[in-house]
Structure 1
Amino acid sequence: MSTGAGLSNHAFAMPRLGGHDQTSKNNTTCQFQMPLHYPRYQKRDYETMPEWKLDCLLKQYGLPVIGDVNQKRKFAMGAFLWPSQYE
Protein backbone atom coordinates (compact mmCIF):
# COMPACT_ATOMS: atom_id res chain seq x y z
CA MET A 1 0.00 0.00 0.00
CA SER A 2 1.42 3.42 -0.80
CA THR A 3 0.80 6.92 0.47
CA GLY A 4 -0.15 9.94 -1.61
CA ALA A 5 3.52 10.91 -1.89
CA GLY A 6 4.35 7.70 -3.73
CA LEU A 7 6.24 6.15 -0.82
CA SER A 8 5.29 2.76 0.51
CA ASN A 9 3.80 2.64 3.99
CA HIS A 10 6.71 0.73 5.57
CA ALA A 11 8.87 1.62 8.54
CA PHE A 12 12.41 2.62 7.64
CA ALA A 13 15.37 1.64 9.81
CA MET A 14 18.19 4.09 10.42
CA PRO A 15 21.58 2.80 9.28
CA ARG A 16 23.94 1.86 12.07
CA LEU A 17 26.64 4.42 12.82
CA GLY A 18 29.96 2.96 11.79
CA GLY A 19 28.28 -0.38 11.14
CA HIS A 20 28.70 -1.43 14.78
CA ASP A 21 26.08 -2.82 17.11
CA GLN A 22 26.54 -3.67 20.74
CA THR A 23 25.34 -7.03 21.98
CA SER A 24 23.93 -7.32 25.48
CA LYS A 25 24.35 -10.29 27.80
CA ASN A 26 21.17 -11.93 26.48
CA ASN A 27 22.45 -11.65 22.86
CA THR A 28 20.00 -8.94 21.82
CA THR A 29 21.31 -6.19 19.59
CA CYS A 30 21.49 -2.65 20.96
CA GLN A 31 21.57 0.23 18.48
CA PHE A 32 22.00 3.97 18.93
CA GLN A 33 18.90 5.61 20.37
CA MET A 34 18.43 9.38 20.24
CA PRO A 35 18.04 10.92 23.71
CA LEU A 36 14.55 12.25 24.44
CA HIS A 37 15.64 15.70 25.55
CA TYR A 38 17.55 18.41 23.72
CA PRO A 39 20.51 19.81 25.69
CA ARG A 40 19.62 23.04 27.50
CA TYR A 41 23.02 24.67 27.61
CA GLN A 42 23.64 28.29 26.66
CA LYS A 43 26.51 29.64 24.58
CA ARG A 44 28.49 30.61 27.69
CA ASP A 45 28.11 27.02 28.98
CA TYR A 46 29.65 25.58 25.82
CA GLU A 47 32.44 28.18 25.91
CA THR A 48 33.53 27.03 29.37
CA MET A 49 32.60 23.34 29.15
CA PRO A 50 35.55 20.99 29.79
CA GLU A 51 36.59 18.76 26.91
CA TRP A 52 35.53 15.52 28.64
CA LYS A 53 31.99 16.88 29.05
CA LEU A 54 31.85 17.96 25.39
CA ASP A 55 33.00 14.46 24.40
CA CYS A 56 30.25 12.85 26.49
CA LEU A 57 27.59 15.19 25.11
CA LEU A 58 28.57 14.63 21.48
CA LYS A 59 28.77 10.85 21.95
CA GLN A 60 25.36 10.81 23.64
CA TYR A 61 23.81 12.34 20.52
CA GLY A 62 25.77 10.13 18.12
CA LEU A 63 27.86 13.02 16.81
CA PRO A 64 31.55 12.87 15.85
CA VAL A 65 34.06 13.54 18.61
CA ILE A 66 37.05 14.79 16.64
CA GLY A 67 39.31 17.82 16.72
CA ASP A 68 40.64 19.95 19.53
CA VAL A 69 38.52 21.37 22.32
CA ASN A 70 37.80 24.60 20.44
CA GLN A 71 36.60 22.70 17.36
CA LYS A 72 34.36 20.53 19.57
CA ARG A 73 32.91 23.62 21.27
CA LYS A 74 32.18 25.27 17.92
CA PHE A 75 30.60 22.07 16.59
CA ALA A 76 28.44 21.61 19.71
CA MET A 77 27.24 25.22 19.58
CA GLY A 78 26.39 24.85 15.89
CA ALA A 79 24.55 21.59 16.53
CA PHE A 80 22.59 22.51 19.65
CA LEU A 81 22.06 26.28 19.64
CA TRP A 82 19.53 28.16 17.56
CA PRO A 83 21.12 30.82 15.31
CA SER A 84 19.83 33.62 17.55
CA GLN A 85 21.55 31.97 20.56
CA TYR A 86 24.83 31.44 18.70
CA GLU A 87 25.48 35.14 17.99
Structure 2
Amino acid sequence: MDFIAPDRIRWTRVEAPDGTAGTSGEEEIVHTDLRPGVFVIAFTEADGNVVDVFDIQRNRLFVNYITNGGTRFHSETVIEDVSQ
Protein backbone atom coordinates (compact mmCIF):
# COMPACT_ATOMS: atom_id res chain seq x y z
CA MET A 1 0.00 0.00 0.00
CA ASP A 2 1.31 3.42 -0.97
CA PHE A 3 -0.20 6.59 0.43
CA ILE A 4 -0.10 8.79 -2.68
CA ALA A 5 -2.16 11.70 -1.29
CA PRO A 6 -3.78 12.52 2.07
CA ASP A 7 -7.02 10.89 0.90
CA ARG A 8 -5.75 8.36 -1.68
CA ILE A 9 -3.83 5.06 -1.74
CA ARG A 10 -2.41 2.68 -4.32
CA TRP A 11 -2.65 -0.97 -3.24
CA THR A 12 -1.64 -4.44 -4.45
CA ARG A 13 -2.86 -7.72 -2.98
CA VAL A 14 0.27 -9.66 -2.08
CA GLU A 15 -1.73 -12.61 -0.75
CA ALA A 16 -5.42 -13.41 -1.06
CA PRO A 17 -7.34 -16.50 0.08
CA ASP A 18 -9.71 -16.14 -2.88
CA GLY A 19 -6.96 -16.38 -5.52
CA THR A 20 -6.86 -12.68 -6.41
CA ALA A 21 -3.23 -12.03 -5.39
CA GLY A 22 -1.61 -9.50 -7.72
CA THR A 23 -4.78 -7.43 -8.13
CA SER A 24 -4.10 -3.72 -7.67
CA GLY A 25 -5.82 -0.35 -7.81
CA GLU A 26 -6.08 3.21 -6.54
CA GLU A 27 -8.79 4.22 -4.11
CA GLU A 28 -10.05 7.24 -2.23
CA ILE A 29 -9.87 6.60 1.51
CA VAL A 30 -11.37 7.91 4.71
CA HIS A 31 -9.17 7.79 7.79
CA THR A 32 -9.49 8.29 11.51
CA ASP A 33 -6.84 8.56 14.20
CA LEU A 34 -7.81 6.39 17.17
CA ARG A 35 -4.88 7.48 19.33
CA PRO A 36 -1.27 8.49 18.69
CA GLY A 37 0.30 5.86 16.47
CA VAL A 38 -2.96 4.00 15.74
CA PHE A 39 -5.24 4.88 12.83
CA VAL A 40 -7.93 3.35 10.64
CA ILE A 41 -8.41 3.69 6.90
CA ALA A 42 -11.44 2.48 4.96
CA PHE A 43 -12.11 2.24 1.24
CA THR A 44 -14.28 0.46 -1.30
CA GLU A 45 -12.87 -1.71 -4.07
CA ALA A 46 -14.88 -2.95 -7.04
CA ASP A 47 -15.45 -6.32 -5.32
CA GLY A 48 -15.69 -5.34 -1.65
CA ASN A 49 -14.92 -3.07 1.28
CA VAL A 50 -11.70 -2.76 3.26
CA VAL A 51 -11.07 -1.48 6.78
CA ASP A 52 -7.41 -1.51 7.83
CA VAL A 53 -6.12 -0.72 11.32
CA PHE A 54 -2.50 0.45 11.51
CA ASP A 55 -0.76 0.16 14.87
CA ILE A 56 2.52 1.95 14.24
CA GLN A 57 3.57 1.59 17.90
CA ARG A 58 3.52 -2.24 17.60
CA ASN A 59 4.38 -2.28 13.86
CA ARG A 60 1.20 -4.25 13.05
CA LEU A 61 -1.47 -4.02 10.36
CA PHE A 62 -4.92 -5.58 10.79
CA VAL A 63 -6.70 -6.09 7.45
CA ASN A 64 -10.46 -6.61 7.30
CA TYR A 65 -12.10 -7.28 3.93
CA ILE A 66 -15.74 -7.96 3.13
CA THR A 67 -16.70 -9.03 -0.39
CA ASN A 68 -19.84 -7.72 -2.05
CA GLY A 69 -21.29 -11.20 -1.45
CA GLY A 70 -20.73 -10.90 2.30
CA THR A 71 -17.68 -13.16 2.70
CA ARG A 72 -15.33 -11.81 5.36
CA PHE A 73 -11.55 -12.09 5.55
CA HIS A 74 -9.25 -10.95 8.34
CA SER A 75 -5.48 -11.04 8.59
CA GLU A 76 -2.75 -9.53 10.72
CA THR A 77 0.77 -8.79 9.56
CA VAL A 78 3.95 -6.91 10.38
CA ILE A 79 4.27 -3.51 8.70
CA GLU A 80 7.31 -3.51 6.41
CA ASP A 81 8.81 -0.66 4.39
CA VAL A 82 9.41 -2.05 0.90
CA SER A 83 9.89 1.30 -0.83
CA GLN A 84 13.70 1.11 -0.91
Larger of the two Rg values belongs to structure: 1
TM-score, normalization by structure 1: 0.20
Normalized per residue, which structure has more helix?
1
TM-score, normalization by structure 2: 0.20
